[in-house]
Amino acid sequence: MNWLKRAKQGIKTWRKRDIPDGLWEKCPSCGEILYRKELIKLLSVCPKCRYHFRIDAFTYIGILTDRNSFTEMDAGLVSGDPLGFRDSRKYRDRVKDARRKTGMNSAIATGTARLDGRKVVLAVMNFGFMGGSMGSVVGEKITRAARRAVQERIPLIIVSSSGGARMQESILSLMQMAKTSAAIALVSNNAIPYISIITNPTTGGVAASFAFQGDVIIAEPKALIGFAGPRVIRETVGEELPEGFQRSEFLLEHGMIDMIRSRQELKGVLGFVLDSLMRGAATRVKEEHREHDRTTISLIR
């Protein structure tokens, strides 16, 4: 008997898919087959290799904040098409598709929330919305979020994931790097702590602006982080890329970030950092007031 040949015609194997959709997920990093419900409980982190599956903005918000504490701001802002941009498709159509696909109006959700009871302003980018690219809406929402943090004197946390500036708004997108930087400068000058959390991937205009302006910068394990994308570097410069190049671990080694933490650990670390820095921020305000009192006193005299 031949075990290798099919004895009869017409015998069908099951479709070459050993896992039905929806129930199981394969880790792209180590190949481990994971039960989806279990994976979600683990905050979409592979238990074997710590690979962080991509999650959308609201899932992230759920992980970082106290239940039902997130109040969204500026959810109604949507992209216009200031330049009438058109490549193979119209920009407006691309935005429409992204809105339908993600259920969000833009590539970022911003709002106020509580993190183990502490009030914070939180902004989380959504890579699923046109690659998390930054155009005028992302720039405006970050700016408003930052100003809100200053107004209320509460810390600012931004979770980045973005391919960079949005090409379809060209020069206006580029300017959002300057605009968000102005907003972060305002936060910094008011001694409001700003913690930047960098997730996979964060490159280009977002990396070269607010993502790297945090007082404390935390990255998820193995996230791709850099200015130019690896393909661009390889192509334009013809240089071979070293092992682990532009991954979180590489950046930590080169002194570019403070630490690498997985999603499960983030809330705890954030709490400690915020408590420590906010105490200082409060004393600084008191001192400024003292200074003010003294001048008032001298005026009265």
Partner 1 sequence: MGVRMLEFESPVYELEGRIEKLKRGGCSESSSEVARLEERLQDLERRIYRDLSPWDRVLLARHPQRPTTRDYISMICDDFLELHGDRCFGDDTAIIGGIARIEEKRLMVVGHEKGRNTKEKIRRNFGMARPEGFRKTLRLMRMAEKYSLPIVSFIDTPGAYPGVGAEERGQSRAIAENLKEIFDIATPVVVVIIGEGGSGGALALAVGDRVLMLENAVYSVISPEGCAAILWKSKERAPDAAASLRLTARDCLECGVVDTVIEELHGASHRDPEGNAAVVKRELLAFIKELEDLPADVLLGARREKYFSIGYFEGKGI
Is the Cβ of residue 45 or residue 198 nearer to partner 1 in the bound state? 198
Is the Cβ of residue 187 or residue 270 nearer to partner 1 in the bound state? 187
The pair of three-digit structure tokens given for residue 67, joined into one six-digit string? 């239940």
Smallest gap from Cβ 141 to partner 1, in A, equals 8
Smallest gap from Cβ 301 to partner 1, in A, equals 26
Is the Cβ of residue 53 or residue 70 nearer to partner 1 in the bound state? 70
Is the Cβ of residue 95 or residue 115 nearer to partner 1 in the bound state? 95
Q: How far from the centroid of its chain's Cα atoms is residue 169's Cα?
A: 21
Smallest gap from Cβ 210 to partner 1, in A, equals 7
For residue 113, CA distances in Å to 64, 157, 220 come to 9, 10, 21
Is the Cβ of residue 24 or residue 227 nearer to partner 1 in the bound state? 227
Cα–Cα distance between 281 and 264 in angstroms, integer?
27
Is the Cβ of residue 49 or residue 208 nearer to partner 1 in the bound state? 208
What beta strand segments (E) does 179-223 contain? 194-203, 216-219
Q: Which of 188, 169, 199, 170 is nearest to 56 (CA)?
A: 199
Smallest gap from Cβ 120 to partner 1, in A, equals 19
Smallest gap from Cβ 45 to partner 1, in A, equals 25
87-90: list long-range contacts, CB under 8 Å, 24+ apart: 87/168
Is the Cβ of residue 34 or residue 195 nearer to partner 1 in the bound state? 195
Bridge partners, residue 218, by sequence: 197, 259
For residue 183, CA distances in Å to 94, 178, 190 come to 28, 9, 11
Smallest gap from Cβ 230 to partner 1, in A, equals 9
Reduce the secondary structure of 82-105 to three states and give it as a string. Answer: CCCCECCCEHHHHHHHHHHHHCCC
The CA angle 59-63-65, to the nearest 5 degrees, is: 110
Residues near partner 1, by CB under 8 A = 72-80, 82-83, 85-88, 105, 136-137, 139-140, 143-144, 165-167, 169-179, 181-186, 188-189, 203-205, 207-213, 225-228, 232-233, 236-237, 239, 241-242, 245-246, 254-256
Reduce the secondary structure of 8-19 to three states and give it as a string. Answer: CCCCCCCCCCCC
Taking each helix axis as running N to C, give the angle between helix 136-152 and helix 170-189, from 0 to 180 degrees, rounded to the nearest 10: 10
Smallest gap from Cβ 76 to partner 1, in A, equals 4
Is the Cβ of residue 55 or residue 184 nearer to partner 1 in the bound state? 184
Smallest gap from Cβ 219 to partner 1, in A, equals 12
